[in-house]
Structure 1
């Protein structure tokens, strides 16, 4: 709860600071996103397999910096919270030291602070609707990690795995969607985004599990103001 509260405080602080900048510069378009997603932890080596994906959530601030007068090119970023994870089954000999004597299952629930950075290309408005595509990267910083572990017939709930997670995740971001007017000043946004993580989610010295990548598919919903 404390870490979630810190994330919320950081989001509010970022909103205030960015809004102060955007109020005096019409090149900056600010918004808020609340996006459901499906996250997938992908084991890259033998000894680990995925049992299920997880329905997650992403919410926070969006900021588009216009790069030309018409607004067809912009730099898209933001400051968001990401809730993701998956369920992984580990063979004996891999996984956390407390459980790796026998095959164990880890239901992982991960929380990140996310900073996307992408080039956003827009069409000119057609019937007040603007289509866009974007390509770039993202930076994820873990702030919480818990796992419900089933090992040797016993269940261990809310095991803290944050110390055993890598401190950053970086990857590729691609997406597409549409923006449309909701009034004189508000614009809605809807689209899809795919993110492919390049960095191992878990620390190999702790897990001995090779590389575990995190990917996600999101239904991007938001409002620009």
Structure 2
């Protein structure tokens, strides 16, 4: 009973998060250029599972991530994309939707007043559930490009933020999370490259 008697001794807590973000795609090929960032949104529930006390936690959860980016394919010749032949220099706008499962270690400071700060580092796992694309030449207009996107993606996440105690078990939280994807997002056999997804997220949440 004592383990559940106070906010400081809870074994875990949940947070509703709603996170606006900027995301972009990068390629290791000189013929594939990053063009511009994509404004997206990530929302869902995260859980902090405390490791002995509330200074250390394992953070996980399940969120819906709407992300993407723009790439210009300067291949020097026509290339095949989503079953269409597109000219060199075509820009593709990717709109991607993932189920996201983070897994990170969170370190929390002692309270000062009604505030504390935190830092986290870990992995982000993405499972693609929908992909669409638009090409600058007009051939593709929000068309399905599921065959061009790999189902699973993984990256590193690192971030920091603040928590403000509202009393009881409730608090508000805000922070910044950087996600650095390190697996290949795309699966186009006609373009030999490795494309990674990256994002800068502004984390907003309600802890209960």
Report the TM-score when normalising by structure 2. 0.89
The aligned counterpart of 1:10 is none
Q: Deviations over 1:145-166 (max 9, x none)?
A: 0001123xx3421121112211
- Confirm or deny that 1:199 pairs with 2:183: yes
The aligned counterpart of 1:186 is 170
- Cα gap change, 1:148/1:204 in structure 2, threshold over 3 Å: closer, same or farther? closer
Among 151, 163, 167, the alignment partner of 1:167 is 151
Distance 1:160 1:60 in 2: 25
- Confirm or deny that 1:61 pairs with 2:45: yes
Three-state SS of the structure 1 residue aligned to 2:147 is helix
Structure with more of its chain in strand, by fraction:
2
The aligned counterpart of 1:115 is 101
Dislocated runs of 4+, deviation >4 Å: none
Report the TM-score when normalising by structure 1. 0.83
Three-state SS of the structure 2 residue aligned to 1:144 is strand
Asked if 2 retains the 8 angstrom alpha-carbon contact of 1:29 and 1:224, the reply is yes
The aligned counterpart of 2:130 is 144
Which runs of no fewer than 5 residues in structure 2 stay unpaired? 1-8
- Confirm or deny that 1:99 pairs with 2:82: no
Distance 1:50 1:121 in 2: 34
CA shift for structure 1 position 131: 0.7
Structure with more of its chain in helix, by fraction:
1
Q: Deviations over 1:131-154 (max 9, x none)?
A: 110000010000010001123xx3
Among 106, 115, 118, the alignment partner of 1:129 is 115
Distance 2:147 2:63 in 1: 22
Among 73, 80, 86, the alignment partner of 2:56 is 73
Which runs of no fewer than 5 residues in structure 1 stay unpaired? 1-24
Distance 2:91 2:115 in 1: 47
Among 69, 74, 78, the alignment partner of 1:86 is 69
Asked if 2 retains the 8 angstrom alpha-carbon contact of 1:40 and 1:86, the reply is yes
CA shift for structure 1 position 174: 0.3
The aligned counterpart of 2:3 is none
Aligned residues: 197
Distance 1:59 1:101 in 2: 37
Asked if 2 retains the 8 angstrom alpha-carbon contact of 1:49 and 1:89, the reply is yes
